[in-house]
Copies of this chain bind each other. A is one copy, B any other.
């Protein structure tokens, strides 16, 4: 019998479709990736091609070159210049499309992916995220900052060179507003952070854990919407990503790389997205919200039912997938 599970964080129901469920190894990528060169003369993110992108806004330097390089997105969704203005006319609400849209080139190597980088290289990426998050949050026009990565065509990227992006927007989305307010309701009613509660239960039950480090836990949620989606959650209660201590940032690099390496080796380099899901920086210190990294392998497609109802059908078993990933050995 299939089971409906309720996600207490997102308030979404998901069908765990036991009868249609695929085994973990049925999600292994079968289509070969195009082999890539270490340097691609036509790639705007490769060293030597810096003139193909706008001037850098932040760089982690290397002898004569760089290790991480941040530039404004050449095809920015939002305009960096301009004032934030809001217009209210009857039922219409619009805001000028100002904001910050940056590309963070994660490594000079065109043919690498996070799973194949060193811990130290991923630390530089995390440090860059922190730097850019703080930069964007200091802009009085900005209400919400999203740092994310698209890997592979199904995940919506067209450029193979490893890169992340930041989009900082002049409004708060109702998705985040609703999650903040639901988390606050839970706190008011039960005197606890709902995320801490979920994390505590996952650590105790162990069935859905993928891996643990000193400061973080990677796990598949009880009511996860899609196959192999994972959260990486800090053990210490923190509402905002920028509350991390240095040792936690180092540890995050370690668990992020290893979690992605488990996907890379276990499922043959699937397309994926990840995003830092965090409260805005002015929420730092609030007791009811808790940031985390959401990793979403793009192994299935949203169809009419999901689009038309808001409910997902997960054709895999979270417990089986977690056991599968635990079994994938990574350095």
Contacts and interface: CB of A to CB of B under 8 A. Distances in A.
Interface of A: 1-6, 8, 11-13, 15-20, 75-79, 82, 90-98, 144, 146-150, 154-157, 165, 167, 169-171, 173-176, 178, 194, 197-198, 201, 222, 273-277, 294, 296, 301-305, 307-311, 313
A273 B307 contact: yes
Please report whether the interface of chain A is mostly helix, strand, loop or mixed according to DSSP: mixed
29 contacts: A1-B97, A2-B78, A4-B96, A4-B169, A5-B92, A8-B93, A12-B174, A13-B174, A15-B77, A15-B78, A15-B97, A15-B169, A17-B97, A91-B198, A146-B305, A146-B308, A148-B304, A150-B304, A154-B301, A155-B303, A156-B304, A169-B309, A175-B309, A176-B310, A178-B178, A276-B308, A277-B308, A294-B307, A294-B308
A2 B77 contact: yes
A103 to B, nearest CB: 12
Nearest to A310: B175
A325 B197 CA distance: 51
Number of copies of this kind of chain in the complex = 2
A170 B4 contact: yes
A173 B91 contact: no
Contact of A95 (B4, B12, B156): B4
B302 A302 contact: yes
Contact of A3 (B75, B97, B165): B97
Given A12-B175, A19-B79, A302-B302, 12 more contacts: A6-B94, A16-B97, A77-B313, A91-B197, A146-B308, A154-B301, A175-B309, A178-B178, A273-B303, A275-B307, A276-B308, A296-B307
A311 to B, nearest CB: 5
Contacts of A294: 307-308
Contacts of A148: 303-305, 307-309
A30 to B, nearest CB: 16
Nearest to A98: B1
A32 to B, nearest CB: 19
B302 A275 contact: no
Closest 9 CB pairs of A and B: A275-B308, A175-B310, A156-B303, A2-B97, A148-B304, A273-B304, A6-B93, A4-B95, A146-B309
A309 to B, nearest CB: 4
A199 to B, nearest CB: 11
Contacts of A303: 148, 150, 155-157, 273
A301 B12 contact: no
